[in-house]
Amino acid sequence: MSELFEKMEADAKAFSEVSEDQGSALANLVKAAQDADANIKYHKEQQNIAQKDYDQIIRELIPAAMDSMGLESVSVDGNSITLQPFVYARITEENKDACFAYLRNRGLDDIIKNEVKVTFGKGEDNEAGAFLDDAVGKGLSVDNKKTVHPSTLKAVIKDEMSQGKMSDKDLETFNVFSGTEAKIRRK
């Protein structure tokens, strides 16, 4: 919020028409936005804490309690608890080679998927098409994705709009949503 007021002080003449009430209302809205942002962050943290608590309860505490009672399952009033094994596995970058070697040695290499991505630059559509045709001609299953980076698209659309080059239909085609947005940063 202080950044906003520093900018206001830097160009006070630009805000000479802003009344004290309007400035107060703006400050209240900025504070409300900051409070809502803090609320989102708080709830994300609380979700992570709740997930850890839940995992501990279902993976440690309940199995231990049922084990001490000599139970593998229990039903009460239509509710049941059954202990079942679960597996969690993850291949990290550090152990990728060893994991893949293990799978290949066990004859499980068919679960390893190779995604080959080739990036062609601006003006290389012909080369991309030739590469795609060659890959398909060799019997390879090719996923041809064409994308525009979101930041690049945003900049182009913004430029086109500022020059008045986009019709309503163009705006609809690109699913353009525009308006005014306040960027609020906290230190």
Residue 38 is predicted with a pLDDT of 96
Residue 157 is predicted with a pLDDT of 84
Mean pLDDT by 10 residues, the chain (187 residues): 56 64 82 94 97 91 90 84 82 84 85 82 90 89 77 85 83 77 65
Q: What burial class does residue 174 get, using C-beta atoms within 10 Å of its C-beta: 0-12 exposed, 13-18 middle, 19+ buried?
A: middle
Residue 11 is predicted with a pLDDT of 60
Residue 7 is predicted with a pLDDT of 55
**Enclosing H/E stretch for 100:** helix 96-105
- Report helix, strand and coil shares of the chain as percent, to nearest 5: 55, 5, 40
Residue 180 is predicted with a pLDDT of 60
Tokens 């066990």, residue located: 106
Of the chain, the percentage scoring pLDDT greater than 90 comes to: 20
Residue 146 is predicted with a pLDDT of 72
Residue 161 is predicted with a pLDDT of 86
Among residues 186, 153, 187, which one has the least CA distance to residue 37? 186
DSSP 136-181: HHTT----------HHHHHHHHHHHHHTT---HHHHHHTT------
* Those residues with Cβ within 8 angstroms of residue 149's Cβ, 6 or more apart along the chain or in another chain: none
3 state SS of 91 = coil
Q: Are 33 and 182 in contact (CB under 8 A)?
A: yes
Residue 68 is predicted with a pLDDT of 93
